Amino acid sequence: MPSRPIYLTLLTGTLLAGPVGAQGGDGQALYRECIACHQIGPDSENSVGPHLNDLIGRLAAGVEGYPYSKAMSAAGAAGMVWTKDTLDAFLTNPMDMLPHTSMGYRGMPDPQDRATLIAFLATGPDDATAEATFNVAPEILALQGDLAYGEYLSGDCTACHARGTDDGIPSISGLSRDAFVTLMQAYKQGAVTHPVMTMMAGRLSNEEIAALAAYFESVD
């Protein structure tokens, strides 16, 4: 059974149809896997993850003001620089290369896809496509969710999301609140589409998403 994170592969199919730049096309589509957490291009800011402008040649944990994990800061302190090779290793499976990184992303197993994505990261997005960033309003990220309500609502999720396995459907237990809210808002607002999750997120209010985020962060 391939343990490919489905979250993202489907996007390739769905989103290639969108207005993508002539040569950045595939890379831009693959970047959808990062869009919920990273901004890239003009006016980018740190969000769930640090912005990814001028990434090649940048020192790991090199964006000022971003609260990196100890693991990432240590790699930077040891002099690790983002090159095509280090990115390739990191994106294959972040947790393998840097145990305890706070990047909650399962990795991109296909070497060809990684190469295409890294080429895209090196040049940045096409100006024609403003949609390379997805941003959740700070007041939505700041909402405090009700844990008990979140636990009840999670009943709508546990028929599909098993704990501790990404086989077929990604595990969502233990996701950080910010990452969780951003991913759910990305589905809700249509920045990322998937038939099931578009429907599931579409019916949830911002408060309900916050409640779910509080609950799922609390389980492992």
Partner 1 sequence: MTLNRRLFLGTSIAAAGGLAVPMVRAQGKPRVVVVGGGAGGATAARYIAKDSKGAIDVTLIEPSRTYYTCFFSNLYIGGLRDLQSIAHSYGTLASKFGINVVHDWVISVDRDAKTVSLASGGSLPYDRLILSPGIDFIEDSVPGWSVESQNAMPHAYKGGSQTELLKAQIEAMPQGGTFAMIAPPNPYRCPPGPYERVSMIAHKLKAENPTAKILILDPKEAFSKQALFVEGWQTHYPGMIERIGPDFGGGNVSVNPEEMTVDIDGDVQKVDVCNVIPAQKAGQIAEAAGLTDGNWAPVNPTDLSSSMDENIHVLGDAAAQGAMPKSGFAANSQAKVCANAVGGALTGSTVFPARFSNTCWSLIDTDDGVKVGASYEAGESEIVAIDSFISQTNETAEVREETYEESVGWYQAITEDMFGKA
Nearest CA to 32 out of 120, 138, 112 is that of 120
Q: How many CB atoms lie within 10 A of CB 40?
A: 20
Residue 42 contact among ligand HEC, partner 1, none, beta carbon within 5 to 8 Å by kind:
none
Cα(45)–Cα(40) distance, rounded to whole angstroms?
8
Q: CA dist 6 to 38, 54, 150, 169, Å?
A: 19, 28, 24, 6
Should residue 131 be labelled a site residue for partner 1 when binding is judged by CB under 8 A?
no
Should residue 195 be labelled a site residue for partner 1 when binding is judged by CB under 8 A?
yes
Q: In the chain, how many H helices and how many E strands?
A: 11, 0
Should residue 10 be labelled a site residue for ligand HEC when binding is judged by CB under 6 A?
yes
Question: Contacting partner 1 (CB under 8 A), which of 1, 22, 78, 142?
Answer: 1
Cβ 107 to partner 1 shortest distance, Å:
16
Q: Please give the residues from 81 up to 100 whose contact with partner 1 meets the rule CB under 8 A.
A: none
Return the number of the residue (7 or 68) whose C-beta is nearest partner 1: 7
Cα radius of gyration (the chain): 17
Should residue 173 be labelled a site residue for partner 1 when binding is judged by CB under 8 A?
no
Should residue 153 be labelled a site residue for partner 1 when binding is judged by CB under 8 A?
yes
Should residue 124 be labelled a site residue for ligand HEC when binding is judged by CB under 6 A?
no
Should residue 200 be labelled a site residue for partner 1 when binding is judged by CB under 8 A?
yes
